[in-house]
Amino acid sequence: MSTPTLDSPATATGADLLRIATAGSVDDGKSTLVGRLLFDTKSVLADQIDAVTKASVDRGMDTPDLSLLVDGLRAEREQGITIDVAYRYFATPARSFVLADTPGHVQYTRNTVSGASTAQLVILLVDARNGIVAQTRRHAAVMALLGVPRLVLAVNKIDLVDDPAAVFAEITEQFGEITRSLGYADDQVLPIPVSALHGDNIARRSENTPYYSGPTLIEHLESVPNQPDRREVGLRFPVQYVIRPRTPEYPDYRGYAGQIAAGRVSVGDEIVVQPSGQRSRVVTIDTPDGELATAHTGRSVTLLLADDIDVSRGDLIAAAGDAPEPIQQFTATVCWLGDKPLRAGARLLLKHGTKTTPVIIGGLETLFDEQDLALVDAPESVELNRIGRISLTTAEPIAADDYRVNRETGSFLLIDPVGGNTLGAGLVGDVLTSLNLS
């Protein structure tokens, strides 16, 4: 039987899809780089190129300003900066890509955290004329905390410095010291000298960089292993909606709809519903297109169980042999996104998966100094765009994994209970211990 009311398209990811993001400081050339990637992979229409060329000529430029392909908001075009996260899609014969184009301004760090949270690789730009700056260190630290498996250091505008080989070597060495301190191995980070404006080492190897013998950016993106998150875990299925039609056609139908956050599920699998601990067995996997025998991560489905048990929105259906234990008091690392500093005793809402529950912030244990790559004990507050380790107590138990085990079920949001604004992005567990910090 097909699902009577659920009408969500299925999504699936495979080895030929890589999720990437860009990050960098203001004016490092992110928008031009993204525009160049779209242009060189023929992922933009001819009329868009014509419009960009005309606009560039009107501005007195000799070459097309490819940043105009991606800075879509009016404020972005006027100021020449990226404000919001925008998702771009492009492909080569070898692989498809989803790219999160994130802002560079410090005040938009929250957007960068959001855009990079699901990335398997981040392209971090540095202006060759300026070298490593504070925002470079901040972004590298954020990527390490988020567990992004691989980084590309794109040393952009390499054509504008007098001694490009020496500049590239110096920036590479400085960035290597930072990433090694953050726990990255050398083979997880690839430095590439590029000129996004002229296309050097983006899709074609440049004769202007004889000191560099590595791959172009696109060659690297095509060949880098599509590394899965952390370790394989069993089924993680946050229940989004309970389907009870109670119609003559479906008088006894009870399905639990949602998207598989991790793992897989097959008909006949034993499951446990958390936080209640009730157990049952999957008897049907429904989709708008018909029943499935097995469904994988990212697929939107409706599960029917063998037993008539109490399951509600916010519950987690998990593999019986590999289910996270419900928790109410725990430690987490939080990136604070609110204008008002976070202090101990704050009463907020915590959103984990499809569940929202009141939460009280306990102690502020440690503040991460991303510039000195050090930890500061017992801070009085966590300011905007700062990262700290805190303790929390939720009103209701949540079924959460450690973030280092699984991103989707190990992350949460802190929300203003009055205005509904997102105030913080949290990672369950002490991810700061994975960094080599003093």
Contact 125, 33 (CB under 8 A): yes
Predicted confidence (pLDDT) at residue 2 exceeds the cutoff of 50? no
Contact 303, 237 (CB under 8 A): yes
Average pLDDT over residues 257-263: 95
| Residue 379: cis peptide before it, omega within 30 degrees of 0 | no
Contact 91, 16 (CB under 8 A): no
* Distance in angstroms (rounded) separating the CA atoms of residues 134 and 125: 13
Model confidence at 4, in pLDDT bands (50, 70, 90)? very low
Distance (Å) of CA 3 to CA 11, 134, 263, 295, 311: 16, 52, 22, 15, 18
Higher-scoring residue by pLDDT: 84, 52: 52
Tokens for 256?
């639990």
Counting residues of the chain whose pLDDT is more than 70, the rounded percentage is: 85
User: Of 48-52, 216-220, 366-370, 417-421, which gets the smallest average pLDDT?
Assistant: 48-52
**CB atoms inside a 10 Å sphere around CB 167:** 18
Tokens for 268?
């006949």
* Distance in angstroms (rounded) separating the CA atoms of residues 379 and 367: 6
